[in-house]
């Protein structure tokens, strides 16, 4: 698990799992997530599937709780201590875990 930020477990309903799979499927089809496309049962059994992380933008301060599974894979590939993403609100590459945000914005 991460050292520099906290995560939480989510108790998802079947419908929430289906919605998350639909988002994943769309991201693979758009080339945003590398394929090949996993089946629904493979998708819900990936490590960190039910783990969430609070993210916040360093620029516009937009906050959102998001699924950690894909971030975990990218962190592993990039050998990164925390995820860094594009903010869905302002579009800047300043979306970081809330704990990292709090340390940087002191």
Round the average pLDDT of the chain to a whole number and report it.
91
pLDDT, tens only, 51-91: 999 999 999 999 999 989 878 888 888 899 999 999 999 99
Terminal alpha carbon distance of the chain: 25
The yes-or-no verdict on residue 1 having pLDDT over 60 is no
Q: How far apart are CA 67 and CA 8, in angstroms?
A: 10
Q: How far apart are CA 31 and CA 8, in angstroms?
A: 28
Quote the pTM value: 0.78
Q: How far apart are CA 46 and CA 40, in angstroms?
A: 10
User: pLDDT-derived band of residue 25, with 50, 70 and 90 as boundaries?
Assistant: very high
Return the pLDDT at 65.
94
**Side-chain-side CA neighbours of residue 42 (13 Å):** 7
**Would you list the domain boundaries of the chain?**
8-104
């Amino acid at each position: 698990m991460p050292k520099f930020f906290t995560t939480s477990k989510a108790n998802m309903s079947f419908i929430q799992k289906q919605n998350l799979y639909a988002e994943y499927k769309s991201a693979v089809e758009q080339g945003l997530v590398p394929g090949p496309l996993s089946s629904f049962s493979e998708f819900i059994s990936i490590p960190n599937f039910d783990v969430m992380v609070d993210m916040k933008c360093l620029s516009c301060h937009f906050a959102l709780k998001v699924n950690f599974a894909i971030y975990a894979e990218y962190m592993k590939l990039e050998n990164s201590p925390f995820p860094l993403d594009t903010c869905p609100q302002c579009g800047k590459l300043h979306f970081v875990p809330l704990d990292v945000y709090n340390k940087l914005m002191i």
